[in-house]
Amino acid sequence: MKLGMINSAWEQHGVGLVDGLKKTKELGFDCVDIFEDPMEPGADERITMIKQTCDELELPIISVVGVSVGLVDFNPSVQRFHVDRCKRYLDMGATFGAKNYLLVIGEYIWQKEVIPPEEQWKFAVENCKVLGDYAGERDLEIVIELEPFHMSLVNTIGEMDRFLTDVDNPAVKANIDISHMVLSDSPPESLVSLRGRAGHVHISDCDGKVHGDLPPGRGVVPFEGYMQAIKDLEFDGAISLELEYAPDPSQIVEWVTEAYSATDRLMSAIDLRK
């Protein structure tokens, strides 16, 4: 597997787009995931800049990351807008030569009120079928994020298994987020249910209670068991560091460097980084 990171860690802490990509390469990462909204003003220019910079750096883009709350809205027009918006992400991914679109359905604001839970599930399944077909036509995958919240749509590995089974589209797979698994009490052995259906991995540490996005080693996550379980799935993908909220933005380079070194050690210990 490859070792990458989501580029939002840089821009959120004052490092420019191109400088962040250059630093990613300089630190030794194999690849990068891109957090970029293709519908924002100036997006076309930024997308061109990202593509050009990564090509020059020989830094492959593996994943594009996006949130789409409206896929589970009860208004058909809202769903259609968000399906079209997600297609823009997939088009962007195709432009980058990416492998997948990391889709956060937006379930972290899901309250199971007004709209019956089974209806929101149905909306998400139906729309992911459509997006899976669109992704497959572009030789891309969609990887679904597990969010470890009580009211989330997909909040355990068991629910991920059920969701992927209901979608039943080979282009729609799971993103394995190790920290989220810990927060949702999903043990390493539960990953066996995702054999053949995992497409990407996120790694970060936490305190075992809430989202942390910490460098591995700064929290309580028992990474070794999860890393071995991921290796046992035998899929060709990337493990991407998720470092969204550094406590001191002025030390973001040191923060990312620490996370890179810790993750490289974890992968090297079981011969996972290829």
What is the span of the domain harbouring residue 31? 2-269
235 belongs to a structural domain: yes
pLDDT of res. 244? 79
Q: Are 255 and 27 in contact (CB under 8 A)?
A: no
For residue 109, is pLDDT > 60? no
274 belongs to a structural domain: no
Number of domains into which the chain is organized: 1
State how far the Cα of 76 lies from the Cα of 74, in Å rounded to an integer. Answer: 6
Burial class, 137, CB count within 10 angstroms (exposed 0-12 / middle 13-18 / buried 19+): exposed
212 belongs to a structural domain: yes
Closest residue by Cα to residue 24 from 59, 74, 61: 59
Q: Report residue 112's pLDDT band, with 50, 70 and 90 as the boundaries.
A: low
41 belongs to a structural domain: yes
pLDDT of res. 110? 58
pLDDT of res. 190? 97
Which amino acid does the sequence have at 66? G
List the CATH number of the domain containing 30.
Answer: 3.20.20.150
114 belongs to a structural domain: yes
Q: How far is CA 28 from CA 2, 19, 178, 193, 260, in A?
A: 11, 14, 22, 33, 8
pLDDT in tens, 207-236: 999 888 999 999 999 999 999 999 999 999
Kindly give the pairing relationship between strand 198-203 and strand 238-241. Answer: parallel
* 103-112, 200-209, 238-247: range with highest mean pLDDT: 200-209
* Percent of residues, the chain, with pLDDT higher than 90: 84
229 belongs to a structural domain: yes
Once rounded to an integer, what is the mean pLDDT over residues 122-147? 97
Closest residue by Cα to residue 192 from 230, 222, 225, 163: 230
For residue 70, what is the DSSP state?
G
Q: How far is CA 49 from CA 8, 27, 66, 95, in A?
A: 15, 20, 19, 12
Which amino acid does the sequence have at 119? E
State how far the Cα of 76 lies from the Cα of 69, in Å rounded to an integer. Answer: 13
Beta bridge partners of 203: 241
pLDDT in tens, 140-163: 999 999 998 888 889 999 999 999
38 belongs to a structural domain: yes
131 belongs to a structural domain: yes
Q: How far is CA 253 from CA 23, 202, 240, 260, in A?
A: 8, 19, 16, 10
pLDDT in tens, 48-107: 999 999 999 999 999 999 999 899 888 999 999 999 999 999 999 999 999 999 999 866
Q: Taking all residues of the chain, what is their mean pLDDT, rounded to a whole number?
A: 94
